[in-house]
Structure 1
Amino acid sequence: MTKPPRKPRSIGLKKESDEPRLKSGRVRRADFDKPELLLDPMPARVEPCLAELTAKPPKGDRWVYEIKWDGYRAHIHREPNGVRILTKNGHDWTHKFPAVAEAALALTNTTYIMDGEIVVLDDQGRSDFNLLVSSLGGRAGNRAAANAIFMAFDLFYQNGRDLRRMEYSSRRHILEQALKRSTGAIKLSEEFAVDPDILFRHAYELELEGIIAKRTDARHMPGRTGTWRKIKCKQSDTFQIVGYEPSGTPGLLASILVAQEHSGKLRYAGSVGTGFNVRDVRELKSQLDALRVDKPAIPIKTSRKNLVYTKPTLYAEIQYRGWTVDKKLRHPSYNGLRSPEEL
């Protein structure tokens, strides 16, 4: 009797839904020096996961903690023909950080995409954003920051494999193996498996920016999804300016109207009328007047009159003491503009 033909066997290809969930400790050691068959195309750019601001750190076995670095978020793309250093918004700043680019080339000849923060450290080893800006020649400067270093904390792609579907703990495992040989301007951002309240207290005492909490079982998810959370030693955050209240003095403003993104949508967060000096309000009013629109970008419930509405393209750092029951800032104070690359 003739046997029926056998079904052809698939060769090494699996559907994404069939892939096993990878956990730290089970991933084979990555060999960064040995090229592998290119199974996944290398992304030209990866949207970063952004930390959601919370008042207290989450706790439990699913969370790990790191120090929050105060610098520029960046991705290192080690490509077959060289290195690119991209900002969070996709701008190529390779020329600004030559020492980081050199260290990225020296790490391996194979491909990878690494996530981290570019910082400049002060004499006590703390990241200092003002030192970083100064080393670049100011916010509008274009100097090379030879003293900048890259604090690495995630890995998206390695040697022909897209790692974004893996759990964070698995990506972190591969990153740690890779950076055992790292020298120079690329360093591993240390992970702490401790009580986050104790870590936060130490960060506060050392006058650090704060701490970051990360879900160990989360895949890479761009945007503010709650899988990464930031707890800042000073209650401050970045808000988008959506308008202002004119001052009785020509050329000045009395307050700015601010909003913040929640679940992908901008939400009005109130007005800010303190923290400005005369130079601030003159320059800010001039910039906002160039962004004037007839209607507000979002619903704004307020009894204030004669408001001027603007496109929400300027970002301001605001310090505050908390939130009211109707989700408005309590005792907010203006602390300067931030560029999109600084967020």
Structure 2
Amino acid sequence: MTKRPRKPPSKPLLNETDLPLQSRPIRKRDPKQPQLPFDPMPERVEPCLALLKPKAPHGPEWLFEIKWDGYRLAVHIEPNRVRILTRNGHDWTHRFPAIVDAAKALGPTTMILDGEAVVLDEHGLPNFGMLQNSLGGRGGKLPSRNSLLYAFDLLYFDGHDLRGMEYEGRRSMLESLLVGADGSIRLSENFDEDPEEMLRHACQSGLEGIIAKHRDRPYRSGRTGDWLKIKCVLSDSFTVVGYEPSTKVPGAVASLLLAAYKGVDHVYVGGVGTGFSQDEARRLKKQLDKLKTRLPPVTIRGKNLVLTAPAFIAEIEYRGWTHDGKLRHPSFKGIRDEADAGDVYRLPD
């Protein structure tokens, strides 16, 4: 039986090499189609802040890590540049060259690291005074070449804004990025163990305390309660409103006069006379003498007191409060730079 002849194609194949190439007109994109998942890197992220609590929370929903004693920083890494911003948004890139170099080595992808810059002492503990000295003190312009960053969160990575992701997911990505890192950018380890035992070890080691973070919460700016801080020793920022001159060391302060906020007003909370060296006491007097005022923000009774405008913010350790509203056993830690000034302590209304 013979086969029927094949029917010729209705249109000839365009296989001639001498025919001009033609493309179809580009159709407009259907707006109902999903966009590619790309998020522009934010210029700045308002940081998530830890809420102070007297006791650590319990439960499987919490993870814990060390509370570092330094400057809060956000490190923005892009293919062609690195930016380091303080918690108030000031650009301090030039002040942390070692962290910048370490950040460049993490590229060329884009990311934002949230962390704390510290300087470690001979025992491997963070020392706030050493960090300040490495930067040239308050208002200093020195680059800190021996500081390092303990990174504890990843806010943006490779074109994706991660702030809506739960903390545990962000943390997992951060760990994969910094596994084994021991240079100027290091991973701030977290622990899934009994918080009271961890706090006890932190206090015995001379650390400031611990931080508790909720596993399932997104990154939210401000003090939302998603992050909690539990301190070994109380430490807060207070406004310097004057000083008492030293009668033993010429040209030095004997103590600083401190104030906290109550509403919109300053309230005197006592003086601090320990924690600074003689050289620092002289330097403080020289700086505060430029701020003398006849209209002090608080009324303080006493002899030979010098009152100043509330331009300086001091970080103070203390053991609690006296019955008349004064700091108990305060100790001076340092003057915070305006670019990284913490929130001045607020008394309850």
Q: Same fold (TM over 0.5)?
A: yes
Alignment-mate amino acid for residue 338 of structure 1: R
Normalised TM-score (structure 2): 0.71
Q: Is the 8 A contact 1:272 1:333 kept in 2?
A: no
* Structure 1 residue 156, shift from structure 2 partner: 1.3
What's the counterpart of residue 178 of structure 1? 177
Aligned counterparts of 1:43 and 1:131: Cα–Cα separation in 2:
32
Distance (whole Å) between structure 1 residues aligned to residue 159 and residue 169 of structure 2: 16
Q: Say if 1:107 and 1:181, in contact at 8 Å, map to a contact too.
A: no
Q: Which stretch shows the higher mean deviation, 167-176 or 271-280?
A: 271-280
Query: What is the rounded CA distance, in whole Å, between the counterparts of 1:331 and 1:111 in structure 2?
Result: 46
- Match for residue 102 of structure 2? 103
CA distance in 2, matches of 1:51, 1:321: 20
Q: Give the match's secondary structure for 2:85.
A: strand
Q: CA offset at residue 257 of structure 1?
A: 3.4
1:217 to 2:216 alignment = yes
Q: 1:197 to 1:271 in 2, by over 3 A?
A: same
Q: 2:315 aligns with which of 300, 314, 317?
A: 317
TM-score of the superposed pair, with normalisation by structure 1? 0.72
Q: How many angstroms apart in 2 are the aligned matches of 1:245 and 1:108?
A: 48
Q: Which residue of 1 aligns with 2:259?
A: 258
Shift of 1:153: 0.3
Partner residue, 2:196: 197
Rounded to whole Å, the distance in 2 between the matches of 1:269 and 1:225 is: 29
Identify if the C-alpha distance between structure 1 residues 95 and 253 changes in structure 2 by more than 3 Å, giving closer, same or farther: closer
Shift in alpha-carbon separation, 1:253–1:142, aligned structure 2, 3 A: closer
**Equivalent residue for 1:19?**
none
Q: Which residue of 1 aligns with 2:33?
A: 11
Number of equivalent positions: 306
Q: For the Cα contact (< 8 Å) 1:151–1:187, is it kept in 2? A: yes
1:19-34 alignment, distance < 5 Å: none
Larger Rg: 2
1:137-152 equivalences under 5 Å are 140-145=140-145, 147-152=146-151
1:25 aligns with none
Q: Gapped runs of 5+ residues in structure 1?
A: 1-7, 14-36
Task: Sort the Cα spacing of 1:122 and 1:269 in 2 relative to 1 into closer, same or farther, 3 A.
Answer: same
Provide the identity percentage: 50
Farther off after superposition, 281-290 or 124-133: 281-290
Question: What whole-Å deviation, never above 9, does each CA across 1:282-333 have from its counterpart, x for those lacking one?
Answer: 7556645655677676xx6x78489987554311122322135776533434
Q: In the aligned structure 2, how far is the partner of 1:202 from the partner of 1:56?
A: 15
Cα drift, residue 239 of structure 1: 1.6
User: 1:76 aligned to 2:98?
Assistant: no
**Alignment deviations for residues 195-216 of structure 1 (CA, whole Å, 9 cap, x no partner):** 1110111112212222222223
Q: What is the CA RMSD across the aligned residues, in angstroms?
A: 3.7
**Alignment of structure 1 residues 1-343 onto 2, 5 Å:** 10-12=32-34, 39-136=38-135, 140-145=140-145, 147-180=146-179, 182=181, 184-241=183-240, 243-244=241-242, 256-259=257-260, 268=267, 270-272=269-271, 274-275=273-274, 284=284, 287-288=287-288, 290-291=290-291, 304=301, 311-324=309-322, 328-340=326-338, 341=340, 343=342
Q: How far apart are residue 102 of structure 1 and its match?
A: 2.3
CA contact (8 A) 2:318 2:328 kept: yes
